[in-house]
Structure 1
Amino acid sequence: MTTDLPARMLRLLSLLQTRREWSGGELAGRLGVTTRTVRRDIDRLRELDYPVEGTTGRAGGYRLAAGAAMPPLIFDDEEATATAVALRTAAGQLTGMEETTLRALAKLEQVLPARLRAQVAALQQSTATIEWERRVPRADPATLAALAAACRDREIVTFAYTTRTGHDAGRRVDPHHLVASGGLWYLLAHDRDRQDWRVFRLDRIADLTAARHRYAPRPVPGGDPAVYVAGKIASAPVRYRAIATVREPADEVRRRTRNLATRIQSDGPGRCTVDCSGDYLPGIVQILTGLDADYTLDADDAVRDHLRATARRALDGAG
């Protein structure tokens, strides 16, 4: 018999979350109490805003219904491990839900027992994903999760950073926001040594360590982290320049190319410009093809030559 009230309530809540419906007798048997005690415990859950419904019928019973807000969930070890692995995987694959996924992962990993954190890490290290096309460098899920927690908790972090020129340097920063763009992850942080805002690509971060010290948050220049990071990305030096003027509204192009949202600017009614610049010629051509609209191109000669060669191969292949 479960005599400890808090333990019994948690056990009852866990049972209600594992099955669509329970009879009062079944719950009483699982908990080792009377059906009258079950009814009282159900009333306590309702007082805590858990939407427990009573069902009609010969036996009657209870079920946890959908409510106006999401109540706390209780996972067993296997469920917690599966959820953490799924969130870590989704963090690098979902488009449009990356930040939400990371917040959920940070909450879960904060309360995982050490033995389960080890299981999650082992599963993540021993699984792989087959990529059928060239992808941009993917940030380490553990780094994503740790930085998400540091941003949430306003905790100073240190890490080693490799610049685009290959130079390695140690950084000590106040992490403020994570921003996803074009399949890449960026950290917007205030650099303590340089006393200025900096944007870091997560795939170039290594040896991340939390300093266990808090910082006082400060306003982001311009107020919008995504706009600030987009401006820094756009002004960063690249090997090949390519600007497409597309004869379609910006919102329509964004709908088809969500990864390019920060690169698209309205250019009047029914027109927009798309910055396709980059360091990889086939990637630029892929972006231009994905626009699926008529456009004019202002680009370096190397981009134009590669685009012509690609078009000739496509025409030859089509016969």
Structure 2
Amino acid sequence: MAATSARTLKLLSIFGIGATLTAEELATRLGASVRTVRRDIDTLRDLGYEIEAVRGAGGGYRLGRASRLPPVVFDEDQAVATAVALQTVPTVLSGIRENAARALATLHQAMPARSRLHAEAFTISPARNYWEFPASPIDAEMVRAVGTAINRRHLVRVDYTGDAETITLTLEPHDLVVWAARWYLVAFDPDAGRWRAMRMDRIEPHPPTHIPFDRRDIPHGDPVTFVMTAHDRGDTAAEWPCRGSAILALPASTVARFAPGGSTVRYGTETTCRLTLGAWSWPGLAGLLLTFDADITDIEPGELRQALHSLRTRISKGLGAHLLRDDS
């Protein structure tokens, strides 16, 4: 009986990946016969899991959407992933800390001793990195409202606060992206005929429109790449003791992808852009600019120009000493 229960739980874990697998493929993974697999599938159905039989080419069995929530089964790796996620989610979502803590406690209580020890080894205290500059945690209800519109493919109306004013937009929402602890909405703006990457902390959604739209192909074929390369994604310059800017001989999309958190990129030409960023010292800021390995011009303010000049002097002295030793 114990072996049967363990095999059935493993089968449920396999179904959890969302794939459609034939009885033969399932039997191979379980090391059992096809007949045993079908019997275990019947057992899962009796327990309330909706196991669908898919006919035709590429058919097999898959986990459907049940009308009620049956018990959830995790293997050790899934339990660890869930435990880590529950500990870190309050850093990016507000109004969810208490629920996440209760869910984590419930998860630990429901685990066998061995799995619980495995998961508790990943007890963490998330801390903010100086270079992340995350937005404040996003309200979970706002994420739910926008996420529901994405899943249902319904237009959303939002108030969006830009650099100067708040505007009302009607958008085709496609994806939510979390990058460097900041939430972004990837949406197509039909009125402007362009794609937008928008900071969620600048958005205030209106009531649902219930107006459907057809999904489009996202630029680069990937919402994450689109957000990372969008120079106008709504980021703001962070407060640092020292802050400056320069024009880099690189495309804005390239600089936007690799610029430190808390910096802004402004489009110049196809091959240039202005990067504004900060650091704890002027030499530190100068060093960050040099990491882009590109020509820089129109450097502001004077303290940044002086820091770059000082770095050049120090580097020249260091290289000069090496050249003297090499010549000798």
TM-score by length of 2: 0.44
TM-score by length of 1: 0.45
